[in-house]
Amino acid sequence: MHPKIHISKEAKDKKERLFVGGKLKIVVDKIHEYLLFYSGNRVAVVCTNNDKVEMISVCLDRDISTHITFDSLLLKPDTIKISGDYRSKTVKIAYEDADGKMQTLSLS
């Protein structure tokens, strides 16, 4: 993680909040995992909200986000892993589907 960009997670009122650089970016039921990438311009987040599993890519310099949503019965949030590094332009999100097969998505 880049030392100049601080990411923190806070729980309040049965919701979890993700702050990037001191700014609130996401409010959801549960944040499972997050990763800063694209040279600090984006953060990938795996979370659960309203019984749905969401994979979110937030563009920090434009306040734009992309959401991919799954029914939580079709996807096990505990099996989701984000891989990539700070300099990557994309991150890979691996997860186990309802049939027990590993799947991979790319977020950029």
Residue 73 has pLDDT above 70, yes or no: no
Region 18-34 average pLDDT: 93
Per-residue model confidence (pLDDT) at position 16: 97
* Residues whose CB is less than 8 angstroms from the CB of residue 80 and which lie 6 or more positions away in sequence, other chains included: 32, 33, 46, 53, 55, 93, 94, 95
Whether this model's pTM surpasses 0.95: no
- Cα 108 from Cα 92, distance rounded (Å): 9
Q: Name residue, tokens 């079709």.
A: 74
Count the Cβ atoms, other than its own, within 10 Å of residue 7: 16
Domain extents for the chain? 7-107
